[in-house]
Structure 1
Amino acid sequence: MSPSNKTTVVLVHGAFADASSYASVIPELIARGLDVVAPAVPNRSLIGDSAYVASIVRQIPGPVVLVGHSYGGAVITVAGTEDNVKALVYLAGYALEVGESLGELQGRFPDSDLAKALVYTPFPIEGSATAGTDVSVEPDKFPSIFAADVDPHLASVLSVSQRPLAAQAFSEAAPAAAWKTKPSWGLVASSDHTINPDVERYGYQRAGMTTVEVDSSHLVMLAHPERVVELIEEAVRATSR
C-alpha cells in the first residue's frame, strides 16, 4: 500500500479494450514515482461498473487521480465522487451530466464510423431467462476505426481480443457527475472515428475542463502515450500542491 500522502493514478479502460490499453503509459507513470492501479472493468453496466471502480478507489489510502478512456470516462464521472479522488482525467471520453446516458450524449451529434461497424451478440445472464447483449466492433474494421495510428500488428491483436460492452450500459443514466466538484482535464482525440470528437469537446466544455487536443485515433494511450502521461502529470501536480 502506498503512503497516505502519495498519489495513486487509477486507469480505467473503456469498451472494446482492457487494461492493457494503458501498457505504454503505465511504465512512464511508475518511472515518475507514481503508484498505478489499472483494474479490469466488467463492462456490464454503467452503474455496476462505476460501483466496482469506486470500491477499488475506496481501498486506496491516499489521494487518487482517476483516469478514464472512452466509456471509462462515463465510469469515472460516477465513481469519481469518492472522497479521496482529487482529479479526473478524460481520454477521448464521455463526460456525462447527471441523468444523462451515453446514448443521449452521443445522440446530440452525428454518428461516428463506429455506428455501422458494431456487432451484437447474446450472452447468458445468471438467474435470468432473458439473455443480455454484448456489443463489439467488427474485427476487420477495428484497426481503422479504433486504432488507425497504432502499430498494425498490435491493432490486429486488439481487434480479436476485445472486451465487449453490454448494451445496457448505453441506456443507463449517470446518477452523479464528479466533474461538478472535482478539477478535471480532458483530451480530445481529434482524428477519432470511434467517438465523434465533438461529443468529447461538448462534454469537456460543459464541465469547464482544462482541455487539450491531440491528432490521434481513439486509442490515444497507445498512439501518443507521452501526451497522455503529460496530461496525467499535470493533474497530479495541480492537485498535490
Structure 2
Amino acid sequence: MVSGDSRPTIVLVHGAFADSSGFDPVVRRLLAGGYPVVAAPNPLRGVASDAAGVRALLDRIEGPIVLVGRSYGGAVISTAAAGSAHVRALVYLAAFVPDTGEAVEELVAKFPGSTVNESLKVVPLTDGHVDLYIDPAVYHDRFAADVPAEDAAVYAIAQRPAAAAALGEPAAGPQAWHTIPSYTLVSGADLIIPPETQEFMAVRAGATVRVADGASHLVFVSHPDTTVALIDQAARETAS
C-alpha cells in the first residue's frame, strides 16, 4: 500500500442498477490499508449531469485522487475527471470507457454476448421519461452469477434504476483517459458488458489491464481482493 500522507483519496462511483452499498467489501479493505475513501452519489440520470455532480465533489477534495468507476460509472468518471489536476489515476471495474460521441448503449452492443436488453424491466414515469431496472428474476444468473444467491437477491432489491436517456446519452467533451493513466479490471464471464467489449475499450485507452477469470458483472463484489490490488497499484504507480 502507499504509505503515510502520500495516500490518495479513493473516490468510488457506482454504476446503473446498483448503489454504493455494493462497494462495502472494497471499502473495508481500502480503509484497512489506510486509504481515505469517498463514495460519490451517482443519480443515474444522464452522463453530463451525473459527471457534473461527481466533478463538484472532486473539486472539494484536497490532495491526489484515484477515481474508480464501475459499469456506467466508468462513463461518468471519464467526463468528470477531464482537466482535473488532482485525479492521478482512473480505475475501471467492468466499466464503460467511452470516447467522445459514444453512448453506453452503443458500446454494449459493439460485440456479442450481452444479455442486458432482455434483462430489463421498463418503468414509464409520469414526466414522459423511462426508468430501467434489471429484472430481479434474472439478476443472479445474468448480473451476479458468482455471488451467493442470497446476496444477489439483496442487491436486486436494493438496485437503483437508470434513466433510459442516460444509457443513450453520448459522452461529450474531452474524455479523461486520454491524459490520465487508466487501469481496467475485466470481468471474464460478464453477461452485461461482454469481456471483448471491456478489453477493446481498455486497449484503446492504453490501460493497465487485469482479468478476473469467471467473474460476473459484480466483479468488485466477488473479487474484492483483486479489485483493491488494482486500485492500490494505480495509487502506487501514479504517486508523486
User: TM-score band, normalised by the shorter chain?
Assistant: over 0.9
**Higher alpha-carbon deviation: 228-237 or 156-165:** 156-165
The partner residue of 2:184 within 163, 183, 186 is: 186
SS at match of 1:145: helix
Quote the offset at 1:141 in angstroms: 0.2
Q: What displacement does 1:5 show?
A: 5.2
Unaligned runs of 5+ in 1: 125-129
Residues in 1 aligned to 2:164 and 2:230: alpha-carbon distance in whole angstroms: 31
CA contact (8 A) 2:113 2:191 kept: no
Amino acid at match of 1:24: P
* Structure 1 partner of 2:102: 100
Q: Is the 8 A contact 1:25 1:221 kept in 2?
A: yes
Deviation at 1:51, TM superposition (A): 0.6
Which residue of 1 is the match for residue 14 of structure 2? Answer: 13
**Is the contact between residue 108 and residue 114 of structure 2 (CA under 8 Å) also seen in structure 1?**
no
Query: Residue 138 of structure 2 aligns with which residue?
Result: 141
Identity %: 42
One-letter amino acid of the counterpart of residue 45, structure 1:
G
Amino acid at match of 1:221: F
Q: In 2 relative to 1, CA 54–4 (structure 1 residues): closer, same or farther, beyond 3 Å?
A: farther
Report the Cα distance in structure 1 between the residues aligned to 2:124 and 2:62, rounded to whole angstroms: 39
Shift in Å at residue 154 of structure 1?
1.0
Structure 2 runs not aligned, ≥5 long: none
Secondary structure of 2:62 counterpart: coil
- Partner AA of 1:55 in structure 2: A
TM-score by length of 2: 0.94
CA contact (8 A) 2:186 2:210 kept: yes
Alignment of structure 1 residues 59-98 onto 2, 5 Å: 59-81=60-82, 82-98=84-100
Letter in 2 for 1:233: D
Cα distance in 2 between the residues matched to 1:48 and 1:4: 32
Per the normalisation by structure 1, the TM-score is: 0.93
User: 2:21, 2:73 → 1: CA distance?
Assistant: 14
Letter in 2 for 1:159: A
Number of aligned residue pairs: 234
**What letter matches 1:68 in structure 2?**
G
Partners of 1:61 and 1:168 lie apart in 2 by: 33
Q: RMSD of the alignment, in Å?
A: 1.4
Per-residue deviation at 1:106?
A: 2.2
Runs of 4+ in 1 over 2 A off after TM superposition: 3-6
Map of 1:57 onto structure 2: 58
Separation (CA, whole Å) in 1 of partners of 2:11 and 2:125: 29
Residue of structure 1 in register with 2:120 after alignment = 118
Distance 2:111 2:191 in 1: 13
The residue that corresponds to 1:239 in the other structure is 238
Q: Is the 8 A contact 2:7 2:235 kept in 1?
A: no
| Map 1:222-237 → 2, pairs under 5 A | 222-237=221-236
Alpha-carbon distance, 1:208 to partner: 0.8
Distance 2:143 2:41 in 1: 19
Report the alpha carbon displacement of residue 111 of structure 1 after superposing the two structures with TM.
Answer: 4.7
